[in-house]
């Protein structure tokens, strides 16, 4: 089992729709959870982080965390073509004193007009 697993893509949604990106993790002691967006040929850009169960909203983005199910998701409302990118889920493991992030393989999102 991979440490961090994301729903296989690519994911294609029409402009204005809700895009749902999912991620599961294996380390039950994980502390913090991050979503990065990576445009083709560019480096990852931090867009959301969450550390407690429930929802966290920031503009069109909502991160959801369920530690009991070891599941974290990212919802993008009113999707725009500019949201087309690879979305990376990253987890900070528990039991470490340093800030290693473990990444999933990424989900490619395409928003078509």
Footprint on this chain of other proteins (rule: CB under 8 A): 4, 31-32, 34, 36, 42-46, 49, 51, 88, 90, 92, 96-106
Task: State the minimum distance, in angstroms, from the CB of residue 29 to other proteins.
Answer: 14
Report in angstroms how near the CB of residue 5 gets to other proteins at its nearest.
10
Calpha distance 25→28 (Å, rounded)? 8
Q: Give the sheet arrangement for strand 54-58, strand by strand.
A: 4-6, 19-25, 71-76, 61-66, 54-58
In sequence order, what are the residues at sequence separation of 6 or more whose Cβ sits closer than 8 angstroms to the Cβ of residue 7?
A: 21, 22, 23, 107
Supply the minimum distance, in Å, between the C-beta of residue 10 and other proteins.
Answer: 12
Considering beta carbons, is residue 16 or 91 the nearer one to other proteins? 91
| Residue given tokens 């961090």 in the structure block | 4
Nearest to other proteins of 99, 113 (CB atom): 99
């Amino acid at each position: 089992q991979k440490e961090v697993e994301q729903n296989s893509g690519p994911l294609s949604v029409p402009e204005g729709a809700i895009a749902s990106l999912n991620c599961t993790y294996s380390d039950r002691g994980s502390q913090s959870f991050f979503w990065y967006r990576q445009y083709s040929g560019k480096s990852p850009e931090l867009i959301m982080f969450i550390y407690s169960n429930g929802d966290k909203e920031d503009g069109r983005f909502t991160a959801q965390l369920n530690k009991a199910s070891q599941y974290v998701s990212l919802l993008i409302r009113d999707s725009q073509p500019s949201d087309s990118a690879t979305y990376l889920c990253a987890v900070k493991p528990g039991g470490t004193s340093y800030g290693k992030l473990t990444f999933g393989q990424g989900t490619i999102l395409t928003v078509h007009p």
